[in-house]
Amino acid sequence: MRRSRCISLIAITLMAAAISSASELGDRLDRELKGGWGVLELEVYSACGGTYSDNEVGSAGVASKARNRFAAGELVKIDDVKVKRQRVDLLLTLDAPLRVSRMDGPFELFDQRSCRVQLMVYVPRELVKSANLDALLTEVKKHVTLYASRDDAELSGDWNGREMEPLPDDYEETVQRHAVWKAEQTNAAVRDGIDHALSEAAEAVEDMDDDADYLAGFAGGAEKMGDLTVTNCDSLLNLSFTSYRKNADSEKSRGWKDGWNDGQKLVFHVLLADRLRSCLVPVPAPPLP
């Protein structure tokens, strides 16, 4: 039992030492590479969604599940470096973003997406154990040609020359017309919401009864509704009375319950119409012809 505990303690100590060594080596490699520029010697893949896509370097090339392929020669900035027991991970941002098309109504718009990769370079374990910085740099340089600056990398013959696809010549006008259309669409939806709320409020008034139980319930329901806690315009446009109302006391009469419901309905829709008015947006001027 004592021998087993001793072996476990030795194993833990050795593992901690290995982790500490890798961490220290990672800091040294990070100081050498972080913030620098390079040109990739191999193709890579990125989801271009803001996170670093895994790119595992093997003898047959790069393996990755990300869908956007970039040919060898990409200009990259080295954001970070991580050293594992048998691996060096380079966290890279491709210099040229990806232009992505999307439709909003009748308008084709374009987004610029940053593309990032995590280049996972496997190295002999002995290089990490011996903290051989020069040897690790040699392994890294098999896949990334390093440069002192972005300009140096661009001027080299290694860069593939990829830049973001240019926007259409009339794109600024398209953006302006889209802004006008978007504001008009928003205001139309808000006005429809206001009209519906006022119609429901009027219906609640028409349904009022002079029965004493009903009126008592109506007053209670109106007071219970009180105020709308919802302020977000998208939420207000999708807010329904049935999901917001409070249940009546089950012990009350049918007339009281009807009044309770109508009182809530009136106040809810009056408040909703008032709150929606603040969701109207200014319509920008259309582009000059």
Instruction: Tell me the pLDDT tens digit for each residue of 71-117.
Output: 999 999 999 999 988 899 999 999 999 999 999 999 999 999 999 99
DSSP state of 164: P
Q: What residues contact residue 252 under an 8 Å CB cut-off, 6+ apart?
A: 213, 217, 260
What is the pLDDT, as a whole number, of residue 131?
A: 83
Highest mean pLDDT among 123-127, 150-154, 210-214: 150-154
The rounded distance, in Å, linking the Cα atoms of 200 and 190 is: 15
For residue 165, what is the DSSP state? Answer: P
The pTM of the full predicted model, rounded to 2 decimals, is 0.74
Q: What is the mean pLDDT of residues 240-250?
A: 87
Distances (CA, A) of 98 to 38, 42, 92, 127, 163: 19, 18, 15, 36, 9
pLDDT tier at 194, thresholds 50, 70, 90: very high
- Dig out the tokens for 137 from the structure: 């740099």
97, 114 Cβ separation under 8 angstroms: yes
**Angle between helices 212-225 and 254-277 in degrees, nearest 10:** 40
Q: What is the pLDDT of residues 8-24, one digit of tens each?
A: 555 444 444 444 455 67
User: Chain-wide mean pLDDT for the chain?
Assistant: 90
pLDDT score of 130: 85
The number of CA neighbours under 13 Å toward the Cβ of 243 is 6
Alpha carbons 188 and 185: distance in angstroms, whole number: 5
Q: List the domain boundaries for the chain.
A: 2-155, 171-277
pLDDT at 266 over 80: yes
Query: What is the rounded average pLDDT of the residues 226-239?
Result: 90
What pLDDT is attached to residue 93?
98
Beta-strand pair 87-94/116-122? antiparallel
Ramachandran region of residue 83, left (φ > 0), alpha (ψ -120 to 50) or beta?
A: beta
Whether pLDDT at 164 is above 60: yes
